Structure 1
Amino acid sequence: MQKPELSLVGKLDSGLTKGLCSMLASLKVGGLWLLGLLTLASLPWIIFEYGDGLADISPLEWSFMPVLALLLWRHIRYCQHFAIGFWRGLSRLLVAQGIMTAVGMVLFGACVGLLAKTEHPDELLRMLIQEDPLDKLLAFGIVLLALYLAIPKSAPTSLLRPTTLHARVEPEVFTPAKEASV
Structure 2
Amino acid sequence: MQPPELSLAGKLDNGLTKGLCLLLRGLRTGSLWLLGLLALAGLPWIIFEYGEGLADLSLLEWSFMLLLALLLWRHIRYCQHFATGIWRGLNRLLMCQGVMVVLGLVTVGLLIYVMAETRDLQELPRYLLQDDPISKFLSFGSVLLAVYLAAPTAATESFRATEAMPARVEPSVSAMAKEASL
Q: TM-score higher than 0.5 here?
A: yes
Aligned to 2:102: 102
* Cα distance in 2 between the residues matched to 1:74 and 1:138: 22
Q: Does 1:172 align with 2:173?
A: yes
Aligned to 1:148: 148
* Cα distance in 2 between the residues matched to 1:166 and 1:73: 36
* Cα distance in 2 between the residues matched to 1:165 and 1:5: 36
* Cα distance in 2 between the residues matched to 1:167 and 1:83: 25
Q: CA deviation at 1:11?
A: 1.2
* Cα distance in 2 between the residues matched to 1:54 and 1:166: 58
Identity of aligned residues (%): 58
* Cα distance in 2 between the residues matched to 1:102 and 1:150: 16
Q: CA deviation at 1:165?
A: 7.4
Matched residue pairs, number? 178
Aligned to 2:45: 45
Aligned to 1:122: 122
Contact 2:36 2:96 in 1 (8 A): yes
The letter for the 1-side match of 2:138 is L
When the two structures are superposed, what TM-score results if normalisation uses the length of structure 2? 0.90
Aligned to 1:81: 81
Once structures 1 and 2 are overlaid, which stretch shifts more, 47-56 or 166-175?
Answer: 166-175
5+ long unaligned stretches in structure 2: none
When the two structures are superposed, what TM-score results if normalisation uses the length of structure 1? 0.90
Alignment partner of 2:6: what SS? coil
Aligned to 1:9: 9
Q: CA deviation at 1:168?
A: 5.4
The letter for the 1-side match of 2:123 is E
The letter for the 1-side match of 2:34 is L
CA RMSD of aligned residues (A): 2.2
* Cα distance in 2 between the residues matched to 1:145 and 1:172: 59
Query: Alpha-carbon deviations, 1:26-82, whole Å to 9, x = none?
Result: 110000000000000000000000000110011100000110000000000111111
Q: CA deviation at 1:151?
A: 1.0
5+ long unaligned stretches in structure 1: none
* Cα distance in 1 between the residues matched to 2:121 and 2:59: 33
* Cα distance in 2 between the residues matched to 1:107 and 1:166: 53
Once structures 1 and 2 are overlaid, which stretch shifts more, 118-127 or 131-140?
Answer: 118-127
Query: Alpha-carbon deviations, 1:71-110, whole Å to 9, x = none?
Result: 0000001111111111111011000000011011101111
Contact 2:115 2:121 in 1 (8 A): yes
The letter for the 1-side match of 2:21 is C
Q: CA deviation at 1:152?
A: 1.1
